Amino acid sequence: MIKVGPEDSIPQRIEPLTNKSINWAGDKFFWIFYVWIIFGFRIFLWMIGIEDSAAAWTATNIVHSVVTFFAFHWIKGTPFSYDQGIYDKLTFWEQIDCEIQNTWTRKFLLIIPIVLLLITCNHTKQNTSLMMVNVFFASFVIIGKFPAMHRVRILGINK
């Protein structure tokens, strides 16, 4: 595992947060929207006629995992050029709250995939292999949010 070192000094004491690409992550409206869109997807699947709740929840879980892994843990840097690239090596997740771990924003964003996984496991009681698939996909996003994985790049991927 290769650790991406803090070569550039990223200001730790910025209040208010000036990193506009993530300072909306603490907004409660964003939290509500996030939960709403997950359930919205599930309801959408119900509306287009997928009756099998296990399959629908699995689909929700997998789509959520893939999308949030890409958005939170793969894309690095910010879409703005005025910060001169100091966040260029950090993913969205690592930039939240100026790299402070275990803030409530991070805890919330960590709860969501775990709770989603629990719900999905509950619905796939009969089908163990489907549950394993769910666990596999969700584990990417859950493990990526551990504090121990801050600034860690496994095997140099996405350095």
User: Interface residues with another protein (CB under 8 A)?
Assistant: 8, 12-13, 84-86, 88, 100-104, 107, 110-111, 114-115, 117-118, 121-122, 124-126, 128, 131-132, 135, 142, 146-147
Helix (H) or strand (E) holding 117: helix 104-123
Residue 49 beta carbon to another protein: minimum distance, rounded to whole angstroms: 27
Of residues 2 and 43, the one with the C-beta less far from another protein:
2
Of residues 20 and 125, the one with the C-beta less far from another protein:
125
Residue 74 beta carbon to another protein: minimum distance, rounded to whole angstroms: 20
Q: How far apart are CA 20 and CA 41, in angstroms?
A: 27
Other beta carbons within 10 Å of 114: 13
Of residues 50 and 115, the one with the C-beta less far from another protein:
115
Strand partners, 76: 91
* Residue 46: both structure tokens together: 């119900």
Q: How far apart are CA 93 and CA 70, in angstroms?
A: 11
Tell me which residue of 126, 142, 143, 146 sits closest to 57, measured CA to CA: 126
Residue 47 beta carbon to another protein: minimum distance, rounded to whole angstroms: 28
Of residues 150 and 153, the one with the C-beta less far from another protein:
150
